[in-house]
Structure 1
Amino acid sequence: MSSSFSSALLLLAGLCSLVSGTQADDLENMDGALHDHEHHESVICHNIFYNVFDLAFAFYREPASRSETTNTLLSPISIVAAFAMLSLGAQGATLLQILESLNFNLRMVSEAHIHKCFQILLHIFQHPDHQLQLTMGSSLFVSDNLMLRDQFVQDIKELYHSKVIPINFWDTQFASKQINDYVERESHGEIVDLVQDLEKDADLILVDYISFHGKWTIHFPAEYTVEETFHVDEDTTISVPMINRLGIFLLTRDEKLSSWVLVQHSVGDVMAFFILPDPGKMQQLEEGLTQEHFNNLLGTIGERFARIHFPRLSMSAAYDLRSILSTLGITKIFAVHKAMLTFDDKRAGTEWASDLKYWAWPKALTIKFNRPFLLFIREENTNIPLFVGKVLNPTQQ
């Protein structure tokens, strides 16, 4: 029996033997109290999502350290929501391993509160009045010879808008196609070919995906985009379409991390932070960027007149989460995650003032994102981290 098979069984033992007292029942009983204590509940949810912010940097470091040639992109909130969902069916040591590794202190917050907060969050993200162009989902594929309790399946559907799908893992080619077809359909064609290699003895796989189409609140005319050189590393340069714009930007200089920080707003209450280290200072930035430092940095951001050179961005990345989660102590779960990110500089927002031509004001501060930089994207109302990543090559899809 393989280690992956036996590890999966430990989790499946919990999934297949849930007691009759369920999370959904607990949440229904909690609804009345929620209306009477809205402020208290909002504080609890704020603290839960603050934990996600703290995990963002931990999630980022493992895949970023493994590759010096490919972009890094993942979604902290999507990963945490997926594993919070999975914890619905776990018990004992596995339950504690999942929740505590995600920084949820069960002495301070109940399981029911955790799931309620994610239910509210997913409802907000999917509400038609919300302009956030976000497609996000998680699904649990389980071996078709296993019997799960109906209540567990129902809880996943009601609380996380997700599904448990039986599958025959022994036919790995057909199973991969079934998973990929399902994800492509659920993501409206955004996520394709997510799963490549499956293990025949697998009993459970968690599939998580997120796709975001950002639209800048400022429109960039075509004449402001030119081909410029991007320095992938000391020995490699490429030509990329670069937005070249003069104007008022939200900027700050981080002397401690030898970096410039550019903040851009996107339609749907999204705030994007692009952090450009000085040449040769990427490692210093990655090692020094903590949640505390990031929070302190926010207070220094202000409007500055500058000329910005910034590449058009469209990127994606997929990961086997086992290597990332093992650094947090989670070792019993097989999961894959894919994140996609695109910023549209053509269709949304107001036209920039015509008298600020890109060739004017030669003495303006000039910042060129023509070398690798970090990105951090969050939803403004909740401060939830949607994406964290590193751009090594803007042309890499």
Structure 2
Amino acid sequence: MGPAWLWLLGAGILASVYCQPFPALGDKSLRGPEAPHGQLSESFPAYQKITPTLTSFALRLYKQLAAETPGNIFFSPVSLSSTLALLSLGAQADTRTQILEGLGFNLTETPEADIHRGFQSLIHTLDLPSPKLELKLGNSLFLDTQLKPQQHILDNIRELYGVFAFSANFTNSHATRKQINGYVSRQTYGQVVDCLEEFTQDTLMVLLNYMFFKAKWKHPFNRYQTQKQESFFVDGRTSLRIPMMHQKEMHRFLYDQEVACTVLQLEYSGNAQALLILPDPGKMAQVEAALQPETLKKWDKLLLPR
């Protein structure tokens, strides 16, 4: 698969969720032109038109988050970009353009219809059943009973993004919070609970994105070779003794002297991979600066089994 697949999930995370309450919106905020009801009948997958942009978006967003939030960062660019693209369907012209251009799309080169068909194709492909791994990626919309969005918008988001729209009474915050959290818990098999802790009194809509991923390694680690013998360095001074997995197996691997990092690709059973990037000591900033789509393409060509 193309580089965009590298940014779908973080390695070793079973489930993540993104919940966002929105303040009061009038019906006009949900109006927009009806998106074409595209069919997945192209000679090549429609998602190929958007995956280069999603890869660039993933790297730009990571660099911004890393600069603003020192420490651990976990996010799914596919979740965030599909949720924002979905939201653009109900926005007015200027807002709609700002959202899509904010994701990195050039609307002259990639028309809105192609963007939405690309996300439709991507979500459809990710939803295909696999006997070796489980992946659930979904969006849901909870609307207050007093909101009356135009029906064609609900039809578009359902067809293009597989969104289920639910009616909710936001004046009863306790019941609505329980309704939303219960829905997320069921979709993630109880892995994500209490995702939405509270919302303001003027909230009339919640746009929710959830993801569940579970798979086994193609080359499993032997549990008897997991030992508390290694020191894991939290920073330059602090280290912890934690269980570390050991394995001797064939994997795609490289050392990039120019970027100053080691790259290891681990495969799951099924069509999924984890790409691990380990900077040389003191070279984190250099590696982050080198993270470009071209770098990923170069690594993909140079990774060799060893």
- TM-score per shorter chain, which class? 0.7 to 0.9
Mark the CA change 1:126 to 1:98 in structure 2 (over 3 Å): closer, same or farther. same
1:284 aligns with 2:286: yes
* Within-5 A mapping of 1:69-108: 69=71, 71-108=72-109
Mapping of residues 125-204 of structure 1, within 5 Å: 125-129=126-130, 131-204=132-205
CA distance, structure 1, for counterparts of residue 105 and residue 192 of structure 2: 30
Deviation at 1:276, TM superposition (A): 0.7
Alignment CA distance shift 1:233-1:128 (3 Å)? same
**Whole-Å Cα distance in 1 between the matches of residues 247 and 131 of structure 2?**
29
Please give the secondary structure, in 2, of the residue aligned with 1:58: helix
* CA offset digits 1:190-242 (Å, max 9, x no partner): 32211123122223332212122232111222222211221111232222221
Q: How many residues align?
A: 284
Q: Distance in 2 between matches of 1:213 and 1:239?
A: 27
CA distance in 1, matches of 2:70, 2:136: 28
Q: Is this contact kept in 1: 2:133–2:216, CA < 8 A?
A: no
- 1:302 positional shift: 1.5
SS in 1 for 2:52: helix
Give yes or no for contact 1:217–1:266 (8 Å, CA) kept in 2.
Answer: yes
SS in 2 for 1:246: coil
My pick for the range that moved more, 185-194 or 87-96, is 185-194
Comparing 46-55 with 219-228, greater Cα deviation is found at 219-228
Matched, 1:14 2:16: no
Partners of 1:233 and 1:184 in 2: CA distance: 34
1:271 aligns with 2:273: yes
When the two chains are superposed, the root-mean-square deviation of aligned CA atoms in Å is: 2.4
Task: Tell me the secondary structure at the aligned position of residue 184 of structure 1.
Answer: helix
Counterpart among 220, 237, 244 of residue 242 in structure 1: 244
Amino acid at match of 1:14: S
SS at match of 2:89: helix
Distance 2:219 2:241 in 1: 24
Query: Are 1:115 and 2:103 matched, yes or no?
Result: no
- State the distance in 1 between where 2:121 and 2:49 align: 14
Check whether the contact 1:124–1:130 (CA below 8 A) recurs between aligned residues.
no
Name the SS for the 1:196 alignment partner.
coil
Q: Within 2, Cα distance between the matches of 1:303 and 1:211?
A: 29
User: Structure 1 residue 53 and structure 2 residue 55: aligned?
Assistant: yes
Per-residue CA deviation, residues 2-54 of structure 1 (Å, 9 max, x unaligned), is xx74xx638x5231x456xx32xx32xx54xx64xx33x54x53121111111
Query: Counterparts of 2:225 and 2:84 in 1: how far apart (Å)?
Result: 43
SS of residue paired to 1:137: strand
Unaligned runs of 5+ in 2: 1-21
Equivalent residue runs for 1:313-392 within 5 Å:
none
Offset, 1:170: 4.0
How far residue 116 of structure 1 moved from its aligned partner, in angstroms, is: 2.2
Q: Secondary structure at the match of 2:124?
A: helix
Conserved 8 A contact 2:29-2:90: yes
Of all paired residues, the percent bearing the same amino acid is 33
* Cα separation, partners in 2 of 1:132 and 1:91, compared to 1, 3 Å: farther
One-letter code of the match for 1:213? K
Asked if the contact 1:133–1:268 (Cα under 8 Å) also holds between the matched residues in 2, the reply is: no
Shift of 1:285: 1.8
Q: Considering only CA atoms, is the larger Rg found in Structure 1 or Structure 2? A: 1
Contact 1:250 1:262 in 2 (8 A): yes
SS in 2 for 1:252: strand
Runs of 4+ residues deviating >6 angstroms: none
Which amino acid is the alignment partner of residue 60 of structure 2? A
CA contact (8 A) 1:171 1:200 kept: no
Partner of 1:319: none
Deviations 1:123-167 (A, max 9, x none): 222222464421211122233321111222222222222122333
With over 3 angstroms needed to count, the CA separation of the structure-2 counterparts of 1:300 and 1:135, relative to structure 1, is same
Residues 236-261 of structure 1 deviation map (CA, whole Å, 9 limit, x = unaligned) = 22222211123433211122232111
